[in-house]
Structure 1
Amino acid sequence: MSGGGTQKSFRKALGALKDTTTVSLAKVNSDYKELDIAIVKATNHVERPAKEKHIRAVFASISATRPRADVAYCIHALAKRLSKTHNWAVALKTLIVIHRALREVDPTFHEEVINYGRSRSHMLNMAHFKDDSSPNAWDYSAWVRSYALFLEERLECFRVLKYDIETDRPRTKDLDTAELLEHLPALQLLLFRVLGCQPQGAAVHNFVIQLALSLVASESTKIYQAISDGTVNLVDKFFEMQRHDALKALDIYRRAGQQAERLSEFYEVCKSLDIGRGERFIKIEQPPASFLQAMEEYVKEAPRGSTFRKDQVH
């Protein structure tokens, strides 16, 4: 066996040993031993997707009917798993558990994760994460960092919008000017993080990454729809805006056009990987360029003042 193959086998054996040891310690030491064991099994070193039964066991402990102490413990345990690991598979599978919980568990879980981040360093801060055990692991690490940034922005978007973009109907059609000028930049920042999840190098063909990417891609259609609805609403109000607000709205409109182009490219990559098989991805329509010129002309002559509410400035 080659030296590289021996090293890879050794790493796998070491990962399996770490998982077994962690499970054994949980059985002896923990008041939450079943949850601890489920977390280790759902986020183990095995380089393939976790078994659904282990993910479900984690979700059972964080539902709205469970004591808040149980939910807090689970979030702490997941955060600890993320902060201690240098293994891409463990980090990625932990992020997938958190992402799916945000989608599938009730909204109180969002609040608990946000509160956890306020009292400590943010659990999703993976800026310095790297697994340098192999060239492929380096590429996987880069994708893990991008995915963590998306999830961090997803939570921030929930905090601004006060609803979940994936599980609730979009409300941008009905917002007033002040709300649009707050909500649309948050949604565009989230879409920016979606676009950052386009895999590079070895990450393109990694099955666990493709699984997480399919979650991100499916959410992107809702994000884009909310931005599109909001942009139409914004244009309807634009020619009555004060100059200060019109400048912000113009910036949002320009960004919507740029992001629509990049999202089309992102979907082409997803289709080439057979993610979503194409049918889920909506047709991306560019905002009319003719509008842009009319909007720029209006801004030059727009009355000064603002409709942006002062109580929304944080």
Structure 2
Amino acid sequence: MRHKGERGGGGGGLRELVGAIKDKASQTRATFQPPSPYQLPLLRSTTHSPTAPPSLRHLSYLLTLSNSSRSSASSLVSSLMDRLRHTRSSPVALKCLFSFHFFLRHGPFILLDQLSFLPLLGGRNYLNLSSFRDSTSPLSWDLSAWVRWYASYLERAVSSCRALGHHFLNSSSESTPSPLNDESKVSSFANHDLLLEIESLAGLIEETSRILESCLDNPIVQAVKEYVMDDCTRVIRAVSIRINEFGERIELLSFADSVELVCSLRRLEACGGRVEEMLDGEGSSRVWDSIRVLRGKVGGGGEGDGESRNGGWSESARFDVGRRLPRLSDSVLFPSGRWL
């Protein structure tokens, strides 16, 4: 069966031929007049072919080039963003975004720092691709939708990395903490910081749940989905650790903190079914059960628990604010209830 992106007889083949000629011309120019050492491997990893996945070999080589200094990491990110900014090809844009994701997952700290860009410093956000369209073929049109969603997802991922630390999605054994060490670190956080983290994780889970269902047999899309699903497993593990920690410190939550927490828990619950479906229930159902239990304990339980409600909050929660306010000695020295 022919893919719908190949409709129209020889048109698809002609477009692929034109794309291959463009790739060859760009690589030839970069060979004889290299503007930077990153240009040629970057061109080879982000070709116009709609059926060729990004070249992990060339992306790994780019990582070795950028590992020497902050300036080299900055040059690599600038080259990648220039490639993304100037292309009108959805396969090229999707491969550029995958390259960004690859660097976020495998890059050294100096590169991760450069990827946490730039709008905060007044720079331009090149991942704002909500208006990206490539109408040259039905397949390019479908891949354009993936470009728009993937750029939005990566913005969320970068935001979560800023909230939880650059190492959060990084898969290198040197920078990824063990679950035990991560639990010990989380137990020392103040409630405010922990709430910011759970809110950021809820946003990333929400964006993950919006993943598209088109073109799943396309090799580029397959590579993208594999990376996103691996991220999702890490995010669920991080959510689980923080849900357990909140379970230990329920008595230390102020009423305002409880409201914020329940809002994040509701967002996570709303995505639970979709995420379990995407992961085929790979150990994630226990996390959603924990989220429901915690929400009921904090004050946003379901119907039929015997308490009168106003706007989703129980009267016992509303009038028990004094008990929920942390004592000064507890909140300063021991944010986690596990140490009391």
Runs of 4+ in 1 over 6 A off after TM superposition: 304-309
| Post-superposition CA distance 1:147-200 (Å, at most 9, x none) | 111111111111111242233236364233122111110111111122222x32
* Mapping for residues 70-219 of structure 1, pairs under 5 Å: 70-117=72-119, 118-167=121-170, 168-169=176-177, 171=182, 173-174=186-187, 175-197=189-211, 199-201=212-214, 203-219=215-231
Say which is worse superposed, 227-236 or 164-173, in terms of deviation.
164-173
Change in 2 beyond 3 A, CA 1:245/1:18: same
Change in 2 beyond 3 A, CA 1:254/1:135: same
Residue 261 of structure 1 and its aligned partner are, at CA, apart by 2.3
Residues 244 and 306 of structure 1 are in contact (CA less than 8 Å); yes or no, is this contact kept in structure 2? Answer: no
The residue aligned with 2:61 is 57
Count of residue pairs brought into register by the alignment: 292
User: Which amino acid counterpart does residue 200 of structure 1 have in structure 2?
Assistant: E
Change in 2 beyond 3 A, CA 1:306/1:99: farther
Residues 181 and 249 of structure 1 are in contact (CA less than 8 Å); yes or no, is this contact kept in structure 2? Answer: yes
Specify which structure has the higher proportion of helix. Answer: 1
User: Which amino acid counterpart does residue 98 of structure 2 have in structure 1?
Assistant: I
Pairing 1:282–2:283 present: yes
The residue aligned with 1:271 is none
Give the secondary-structure state (helix, strand or coil) at the position aligned to 1:146: helix
Distance 2:166 2:73 in 1: 20
Pairing 1:224–2:236 present: yes
Residues 160 and 204 of structure 2 are in contact (CA less than 8 Å); yes or no, is this contact kept in structure 1? Answer: yes
User: Which amino acid counterpart does residue 159 of structure 1 have in structure 2?
Assistant: R
Give the secondary-structure state (helix, strand or coil) at the position aligned to 1:76: helix
Distance 1:217 1:3 in 2: 30
Which of 20, 23, 26 is the matching residue for 1:22? 26
Q: Which is greater in Rg?
A: 2
RMSD: 2.6
User: Which amino acid counterpart does residue 285 of structure 2 have in structure 1?
Assistant: I
Say which is worse superposed, 182-191 or 53-62, in terms of deviation.
53-62
Give the secondary-structure state (helix, strand or coil) at the position aligned to 1:61: helix
Give the secondary-structure state (helix, strand or coil) at the position aligned to 1:98: helix
Residue 208 of structure 1 and its aligned partner are, at CA, apart by 1.4
Change in 2 beyond 3 A, CA 1:306/1:161: farther
Residue 67 of structure 1 and its aligned partner are, at CA, apart by 3.2
* Contiguous gaps of at least 5 residues in structure 2: 1-5, 171-175, 300-313, 333-340
Residues 236 and 284 of structure 2 are in contact (CA less than 8 Å); yes or no, is this contact kept in structure 1? Answer: no
Distance 2:7 2:107 in 1: 45
* Contiguous gaps of at least 5 residues in structure 1: 269-277, 310-314
Give the secondary-structure state (helix, strand or coil) at the position aligned to 2:216: helix
The residue aligned with 1:299 is 317
The residue aligned with 2:263 is 251
Distance 2:325 2:63 in 1: 45
Pairing 1:6–2:28 present: no
Residue 290 of structure 1 and its aligned partner are, at CA, apart by 5.6
The residue aligned with 2:173 is none
Say which is worse superposed, 111-120 or 238-247, in terms of deviation.
111-120
| Post-superposition CA distance 1:106-161 (Å, at most 9, x none) | 12212112244434211222211122122222222111221111111111111111
Give the secondary-structure state (helix, strand or coil) at the position aligned to 2:249: helix
Distance 2:275 2:31 in 1: 47
Say which is worse superposed, 282-291 or 107-116, in terms of deviation.
282-291
Say which is worse superposed, 229-238 or 2-11, in terms of deviation.
2-11
Give the secondary-structure state (helix, strand or coil) at the position aligned to 1:225: helix
User: Which amino acid counterpart does residue 209 of structure 2 have in structure 1?
Assistant: L
Residues 161 and 183 of structure 1 are in contact (CA less than 8 Å); yes or no, is this contact kept in structure 2? Answer: yes
Say which is worse superposed, 188-197 or 113-122, in terms of deviation.
113-122
Distance 1:113 1:306 in 2: 39
Residues 241 and 302 of structure 1 are in contact (CA less than 8 Å); yes or no, is this contact kept in structure 2? Answer: no
Say which is worse superposed, 155-164 or 285-294, in terms of deviation.
285-294
Residue 233 of structure 1 and its aligned partner are, at CA, apart by 1.3
Distance 1:62 1:306 in 2: 49
Change in 2 beyond 3 A, CA 1:23/1:290: closer
